[in-house]
Amino acid sequence: MYHKLSNTASRTTLEKEFNKRFKYPNLYQKQILINGIDEVTIPIIPMEEENLIVPAIWGILPENYKDDWSVFQNIFNSLNLNINSLDNPSWYSNALLNRRCLIPVTGFFTSYLIDGILYPYYFHRKSGLPFCLSGVYNKLEDGFLSCAIITTQNKPGPKAIQNIDGSIPLLFPKDLNQKWLSPETNKIDILEMLYSVP
């Protein structure tokens, strides 16, 4: 389960790196630690406004949901959704076809369990520049967006960086970002993208 992110990039750096502008530039603030256990907003690049970076509540909620975020999260933690659950019929499976997003971050936190001891690990680019996690989102009754990070099982190997449960956020090569956001990308292409990423 991934529930800690970091976004220390400036607004200018994010806009330049992804060639997108903030819809609400004054709402963005750098954050060394974004803890998803609390209700927080994070920047996303949604399909419906693919040229903009917009705020979204981290922890996807059902479309047109009316109750409090914390009430839902106490029942179902939706900060992350595993790719294997996205294709099953559920309240969030439609988001995979119609509401995909990219989630710009400068890093995420994970933990290793080695010999009965937890070791924290911070995953980031050596350059410190932001990169995107893949995600899905829904629109709430009040117009706010809520989102989740898509996770996959990490492939074993010497450079495998994984959480205790063996999962890792799904990262696409930068050249696939536009395909992920395109409304023209069909279900077969989406599933191929999800399952073929190294």
**105-146 pLDDT tens trace:** 999 998 877 778 888 889 999 999 999 999 999 999 888 999
**CA distances in angstroms from 146 to 43, 58, 123, listed in the order given:** 11, 6, 24
Rounded Cα–Cα distance for residues 148 and 108 (Å): 14
**What DSSP state is assigned to residue 155?**
P
Q: What is the count of structural domains for the chain?
A: 1
Q: Are the beta carbons of 147 and 132 closer than 8 angstroms?
A: no
Q: Are the beta carbons of 169 and 140 closer than 8 angstroms?
A: no
Q: What domain range includes position 94?
A: 4-196
Using a cut of 0.85, tell me whether the model's pTM lies above it: yes
Q: Are strands 100-105 and 41-46 parallel, antiparallel or unpaired?
A: antiparallel
CATH for 144: 3.90.1680.10
**20-49 pLDDT tens trace:** 999 999 999 999 999 999 999 999 999 999
